[in-house]
Structure 1
Amino acid sequence: MRIADIQSHIDHELVSKPQIEELIRRVAAQVSQDYAGKDLLLVAVLKGAVNTMTALSQALTIPVQLEFMSLSSYGAGTQSSGTITVRKDLDCSVRGRHILIVEDIIDSGRTLRWLVDELNSRGAASVEVFALLDKVSRHEVQVDVKYPGYVIPDEFVVGFGLDYDERYRNLDSIAVLKPQEYQDQGEQS
């Protein structure tokens, strides 16, 4: 798919590349200060949070370890089943570690709430959250976000790791996908 092809699928840009970069710089400075001298483990859920994890980790001024999980709550359909399945678990123990979950977007909050509870149950010293985007209007459960990003409207967004049908993750900004690109094919997770 050529860039012109990608842009033809986009309705409008919601969060620009400079806005993302500024947020990442600001959050990284605060995280570096808050976790100075602590054993910080960044945890991202594949695949959507990879871009945010990469950008944040590169902006930090403290040493960190990066870990990834793959979780699913969808099964074969487009609606969440409400049951979380771990497809890939962490490769290390979190016991006694300070954890910062790096999230691309909070939608219902169910998966993130499960992950926070799961990491706490594994003996983490602390579990906090940084979310690049937050669809507050779609929350079904409460999740505390220590490092909030942009609150966005309930629109179908792609870019900076977010996808539709495994496409558009490579956009360097957050954009709203034209409805005809996903209508009658399900809703965003």
Structure 2
Amino acid sequence: MTENTIALAADSALLVIDVQKGFDDASFWGPRDNPAAEGNIAALMDAWQRTGRPVVLVRHASRPGSVLAPDHPGHAFKDFVEERRGQEALLVTKTVNSAFYGTPDLGDWLTASGIRQLVVAGIQTNMCVETTARMAGNLGYEVLLPLDATHTFDLAGPGGLSLTARELAAATAVNLQGGGFARVVSTAQLLDACASRAAA
């Protein structure tokens, strides 16, 4: 097996995190990176559904006043996700960064299903995606993170420090793989792994 080869489990679960319409509000979030994210997420969902692998949808429910609040139109999934609804194995609603702290309980479902490999995609790269991947790694799951199937936004920090979305995504990649939480891969690698399995 080469460094670029991915051994994709037959029951590998795709976690699609917070792909909601509220993230399209540039006036709220500011500049973003990776305009290809949505297309790559859609391609992964199609491949997972085509090969009979489980898809888990995760949706964030923010406090009132947020563009992700349950009473706001932005709470809804983006159209391309909604078009693929109905075949997901699980829908998790959360109010914090980690999908493992949601309802129903993701960890309980994964344990009951015997699933040990997770592919984590969605929004935002350095927030809910990274937090979920870190926690999954800590819990002993094999985690694959297709960085090009995520996106985030520029962010200001303390003391006038700010990072662009691209810089934050790069930091997430280094944090997750360098820290041993996950293996950072590409959408193309995962699609190739799906196709290879189907051909076999």
TM-score (norm 1): 0.41
TM-score (norm 2): 0.39
